[in-house]
């Protein structure tokens, strides 16, 4: 059977997340929320202690460590697969020591010069995201001639830099960075251009969950468009990209995306059976 898309559940240990407004900021609440996402079917928990929403100010290193490490320790102790959403090498190191297995760096190693050597030396999986600057400047850098080609080229450059430094290519995952220095149309074009992303030869992670371009779509249709009302649209994106065979989706509401992955997997299995039986396209 074709490997299914993994569902990565988001645990924001922040007071200012765009998606939940700090609902899971307290450590005990964040830990309980992580366990709830696992019960819903999450394969991976992605724990973050710094908001990267447009315009967000950076937190101190000490504050990010204080937010993230205890939550990682508690959830990793139960055997969960933990990813940590950080741009700082020191936070990544502490999280790995606490039991994390994946570092999800929205800057692709550009925000902290120590990150690339850490990735090169470590035996962990690393998400390389497309990035053009921190939250306070990324909106003004959302200018592209041809967004898919430029994002792929910039991701390829980051991959080449990591491999040249000694990183294991088999442990690198790519993320087009939806919403990071992209406008709504750019995000849709990137989703339509998944073939170009998968052609990079690495697993692909898609993080569309509750993002502004989904809110804009819903608002244009006269529907509720606040982040918490974007979960059904998020699940629809999950079904589409899972049918395409992406490695994983990063989502805030897990249950809907778990079902969406099941639907996509059933469809892909039926398509593969039709191809093997020589019945592709038969009415």
**Chain segment 41-52, per-residue pLDDT in tens:** 999 999 999 877
Strand 125-129 to 102-105 pairing: parallel
- Please say if the pLDDT value at position 113 is more than 70: yes
Select from 280, 262, 270, 268 the least CA-distant residue to 243.
268
Q: Closest Cα partner for 182 from 210, 211, 205?
A: 211
The confidence band for 25, taking pLDDT boundaries of 50, 70 and 90, is low
Selection from 191, 138, 132, 178 nearest residue 157 by Cα: 132
What is the Cα–Cα distance from 46 to 182, expressed in whole angstroms?
Answer: 22
Mean pLDDT for all residues in the chain: 91
pLDDT band at 272 (very low <50, low <70, confident <90, very high): confident
User: CA-CA distance, 57 to 33, in Å (whole number)?
Assistant: 25
pTM reported for the whole predicted model: 0.92
Q: At what angle do helices 231-244 and 254-276 cross, to 10 degrees?
A: 30
Select the highest-mean-pLDDT range: 17-31, 43-57, 146-160, 264-278: 146-160
Residue 118 burial (CB count, 10 A): 21
pLDDT at position 232 is 97
Q: Is 166 left (phi over 0), alpha (psi -120 to 50) or beta?
A: left
pLDDT bracket for residue 22 (50, 70, 90): low
Provide the CA 14 distance to its chain's centre, in angstroms: 17
Positions marked active-site: 211, 250
C-beta separation of 35 from 22 below 8 A: no
Tens digits of per-residue pLDDT, 192-250? 999 999 999 999 999 999 999 999 999 999 999 899 999 999 999 999 999 999 999 99
Residues 6 or more apart whose CB falls under 8 angstroms from that of 270 comprise none
Residue-wise burial string across 143-162, b where 16 or more C-beta atoms lie within 10 A, e elsewhere:
ebeebbeebbebbeebbeeb
Q: Using a pLDDT cut of 70, give the percent of the chain over it.
A: 93
């Amino acid at each position: 059977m074709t490997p299914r898309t993994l569902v990565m559940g988001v645990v924001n240990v922040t007071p200012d997340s765009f998606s939940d407004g700090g609902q899971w900021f307290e450590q005990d609440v964040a830990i309980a929320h992580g366990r709830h996402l696992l019960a819903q079917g999450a394969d991976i928990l992605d724990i973050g202690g710094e908001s990267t929403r447009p315009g967000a100010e950076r937190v101190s290193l000490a504050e990010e460590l204080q937010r993230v490490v205890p939550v990682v320790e508690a959830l990793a102790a139960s055997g969960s697969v933990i990813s940590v959403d950080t741009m700082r090498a020191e936070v990544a190191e502490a999280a790995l020591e606490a039991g994390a297995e994946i570092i999800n760096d929205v800057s692709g190693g550009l925000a902290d010069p120590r990150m690339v050597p850490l990735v090169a030396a470590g035996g962990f999986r690393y998400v390389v995201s497309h990035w053009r600057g921190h939250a306070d400047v990324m909106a003004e850098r959302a200018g592209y001639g041809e967004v898919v080609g430029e994002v792929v080229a910039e991701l390829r450059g980051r991959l080449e830099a990591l491999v040249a430094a000694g990183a294991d290519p088999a442990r690198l995952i790519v993320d087009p960075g939806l919403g990071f220095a992209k406008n709504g149309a750019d995000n849709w074009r990137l989703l339509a251009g998944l073939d170009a992303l998968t052609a990079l030869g690495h697993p692909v992670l898609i993080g569309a969950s509750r993002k502004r371009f989904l809110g804009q779509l819903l608002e244009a249709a006269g529907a509720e468009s606040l982040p918490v009302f974007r979960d059904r649209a998020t699940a629809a994106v999950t079904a589409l990209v899972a049918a395409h065979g992406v490695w994983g989706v990063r989502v805030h509401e897990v249950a809907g995306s778990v079902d969406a992955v099941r639907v996509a997997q059933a469809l892909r299995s039926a398509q593969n059976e039709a191809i093997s039986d020589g019945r592709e396209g038969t009415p």
